[in-house]
A and B are shown apart, each in its own frame.
Chain A
Amino acid sequence: MSYTLRGRLESRLAGVLPAVLAAAVLAARIEEWWPLELAGIMVALGLALDAAVYHRALPYQPGWYAVPLGLLELGLVMAIARAAGVEAPLRPAILFFAGAWLVAQVLGHAVFPVARWTYAEDGGELGRAGPAVAAATLVVLAGAAGVAWATQPPTVRLEAGIHRGPIVIRSAQTLVGEPGAVVQGGIVIRADGVTVRDVEVWGGENGIDVEHATGVVLDGVRVRGVELDGIHVRRGQVTIRDCDIRDPASAHAQGIDISFAADLPASTIEGCTITGGREGILVDMTMAHVEHNTVRATTLRGITMTEMSMGTVNENQVEDALGVGIFCGDYSECEIEKNVVRGTRPDLESGDLMRNGYGILAHFGAKATLNDNFVDASPGGIGAFADATILHEK
């Protein structure tokens, strides 16, 4: 087909309309914005390529070009989505793109030529229906953007200085700390869709306490001097990024504890640094991904995944732990890959042979799959006890 510019744009917008409508339905159903964000990127990129590249470079476009051009657009859409921070899961996002591409092909090659006999002769233009269909696509996207804008949680800025806590958050919002903003006495989160960014917390029982809340994001938080958990999550689903937890105020304190959320979507803990405390990161009866964290000088275990938890422990550094570096216990299923565990010390005082300086330990029916980990200066090495199994992938 030799498209005119108008034909390209109208065919593009009409071809993607079913995908945009499907994205709106999907977004409403799963209560996430990524399908619409992805559809918006697809439309914007497609129109830009049509106007700036394809129209000039392709005076004639054979049918088979749809495949390489589709792959090119898929790559660009995914790259833009990633750069823009669109949290689209990879596989569903690719499936969504592929479905949209397929529908557009069927429309362009079969439906439009039947509905409008002169479609090919007109270079892909859709006559009077063209602007209407194009407008409908843009209206749906603009409407979705409007709804997104109108319903986005408010942003609260915390000025520099010490604020007396606990701060209790009971509705969706974004709490952003300006440099030097400190909350003394903790933050309590009791609502879905809360984001806390760049806030420092001093003291209190738990630094940040999340209960019965999902879609919570803790980004760049710092916690100092708490008595129990730096970050304490119960029946919640959280994404914790780039946190820093240290200076525990009691012998019972620990870094992050996420428990009793096996029926909720997986939580993520990534890029955090935890120094001191009994457990560095504890995942209990929960699905979670623990990645790219640094855990130092813990007195019970560095990273623990236990009590029928499932998840990944990847590319973490665990240093100078007492007893056990990484622990997979109590019928949990753990994928443990590319971690560095160094300097795990035997806990001679406990008299417990299972705390004899194990870099990685599986226990009590747990299944740990190991791949490409580096365990150094940890006299126990890698071990399994009480019907636990360790599978070495490499």
Chain B
Amino acid sequence: MTARAACAIVGGGLAGFTAYATLRGGGLEPGEIAVLGTDPDPAAAWRARAAAIRQRRMRSESDGHCYPRSFPGLAVRSARRTRSLEPLVASACDRYRPSVAEFLEHVDELRARTGWDGSFVPGRVERVRAVEGGFEVGPHGVFRHVFLAPGHPGLAVPDAFRADPRTVHAYEPHDYASRVAVVGAGMAAATEWLNALAAGASVVSVRRREPLRRPLNVPRPLFTRRGLAGYHRLAPAERASFLASLLAPSYPTGTEWDAPVDQAAQEGRFEVSSSVGGAEQVICATGFRRGFRHDPLLGRLVGEHGLETESGWIVLAPDSTVPALTDGTRTLALGGAPAQWAYPAADTLAGAKYAARRFLARCRTR
């Protein structure tokens, strides 16, 4: 399979899977694509995290899927399956949230349909190096076009809690003690408040700032060329600063979030504090480590090739490629969270397609 593969996807998570589905949808055969990852289940890492925080609904909307085309989205498919217009109406009002079960079912179906397992090559890739005619990808050979989707470089735990035996990260499997401190103010933190309250615990919300309330992490105009044109014009330092503001913790508005917390606050079971105090359990809903330096593969890539960086980001072209290593004969592109330099919503499923579609254009025409 890899003998004639011109394209390699490094990373077998959802971003890599979405890129694979896009290449397949664009006409590439399974034998023309090599997927290099550690787990053949593309949803394995995400599934474990979603289970850890008892996530039931996606934050993404109808477009939050891995199909190469945005239509039909999950809302249309749900409407067809349930023979109800409700998902379509909800989607038109930006209120459709697919369930986690629906999403995972869709991943399984697409995995079987695209021949993912036939392209999958197990093994960790620790080094990608530019060579004559393409890129040497670990021990797997040389590929002309390489899509790096290494995923998040690990869970972020504040130094103050790292050695604390009460600490568990929200994305690690856990139950709830009777008095829980939840550190953080984003979607995972809000989910953990509700989980812990539902389990009968008292909750202390430990936060440095009041959480932002917005439906998606990234303002909607930044999903399209309308907002992207201005974003791409920002100077590197400005862009890094803007990205930092976008990545501030947030979660959606709605009574489903507020009512249980308000009720618990009245009962004295929910409070906001600047310290964890005497909590029996400290849940760090503090997301992921950020920056290429935390990822051995990307860190080495930058170091060996002297790539341009800014505030922890690898500077990318608007099409998510690494400019210094991409030309008319070869492509090195990034997908997932590290590609937010090119596309602020790159860490979403819709965003994964942005880089993948542009990568497809290069694989198909060169």
Interface residues of A (CB under 8 A from B): 1-4, 7, 59-60, 62-64, 66, 109-110, 113-114, 117-125
Contacts and interface: CB of A to CB of B under 8 A. Distances in A.
Contacts of B357: 117-118, 121
Contact of B225 (A7, A64, A66, A117): A7
Interface of B: 22, 63, 68-72, 89, 91-94, 219-221, 223-229, 353-354, 357
A117 B226 contact: no
Given A4-B225, A63-B91, 17 more contacts: A2-B227, A4-B229, A7-B226, A59-B220, A59-B227, A63-B92, A63-B94, A64-B89, A64-B92, A110-B71, A110-B72, A117-B22, A117-B353, A120-B223, A121-B223, A122-B225, A125-B225
Nearest to A122: B225
Nearest to B68: A117
Contacts of A1: 224
A123 B226 contact: yes
B93 A4 contact: no
A66 B92 CA distance: 9
25 contacts: A1-B224, A2-B220, A2-B221, A3-B226, A4-B224, A4-B226, A7-B224, A7-B225, A7-B226, A59-B226, A59-B227, A60-B220, A60-B221, A64-B93, A110-B72, A114-B71, A117-B70, A117-B353, A120-B63, A120-B70, A120-B223, A121-B354, A122-B224, A124-B224, A125-B225
Nearest to B76: A110
Q: Which 8 A-B pairs have the closest CB atoms?
A: A63-B92, A123-B224, A2-B221, A60-B220, A123-B225, A2-B224, A113-B71, A64-B92
Which of A63, A113, A117, A125 counts the most chain B CB atoms within 10 A?
A: A117
Contacts of B353: 117
Contacts of A59: 220-221, 226-227
A109 B224 contact: no
A375 to B, nearest CB: 53
Contacts of A64: 89, 92-93
Contacts of A121: 223-225, 228, 354, 357
B248 to A, nearest CB: 20
Contacts of B94: 62-63
Contact of A63 (B22, B93, B220, B226): B93
Contacts of A3: 224, 226
B363 to A, nearest CB: 14
Interface of B is mostly: helix
Contact of A120 (B89, B92, B224): B224
Which of B225, B226, B227, B353 counts the most chain A CB atoms within 10 A?
A: B226
Contacts of B227: 2, 59
Given A60-B221, A63-B92, A117-B357, A2 B68 contact: no
Nearest to B360: A117
A268 to B, nearest CB: 43
A59 B224 CA distance: 11
A109 to B, nearest CB: 7
Nearest to A65: B92
Which of A62, A63, A66, A113 counts the most chain B CB atoms within 10 A?
A: A63
Interface of A is mostly: loop
A64 B89 CA distance: 8
A2 B222 CA distance: 8
Nearest to B223: A2
Nearest to B89: A64
A119 B353 CA distance: 12
A118 B226 CA distance: 13
Nearest to B222: A2
A95 to B, nearest CB: 22
A148 B71 CA distance: 40
Given A62-B93, A64-B92, A121-B354, A109 B71 contact: yes
B348 to A, nearest CB: 12
B60 to A, nearest CB: 14
A60 B93 CA distance: 12
Contacts of A122: 224-225
Contacts of A125: 225
Contacts of A66: 92
B92 A62 contact: yes
A246 B220 CA distance: 70
Which of A1, A2, A119 counts the most chain B CB atoms within 10 A?
A: A2
A117 B93 contact: no
Nearest to A61: B220
Contacts of A109: 71
A121 B22 CA distance: 15
Contacts of B93: 62-64
Contacts of B91: 63
A123 B22 CA distance: 20
A113 B223 CA distance: 15
Which of A59, A113, A121 counts the most chain B CB atoms within 10 A?
A: A121
Contacts of B92: 62-64, 66
Nearest to A119: B70
A119 B63 CA distance: 13
Which of B70, B219, B227 counts the most chain A CB atoms within 10 A?
A: B70
Contacts of A114: 69, 71
B69 A113 contact: yes
Nearest to B221: A2
A43 B278 CA distance: 67
B95 to A, nearest CB: 9
Contacts of B221: 2, 59-60
Nearest to B229: A4
A43 B171 CA distance: 52
B344 to A, nearest CB: 12
A376 to B, nearest CB: 56
B275 to A, nearest CB: 39
Contacts of A123: 224-226
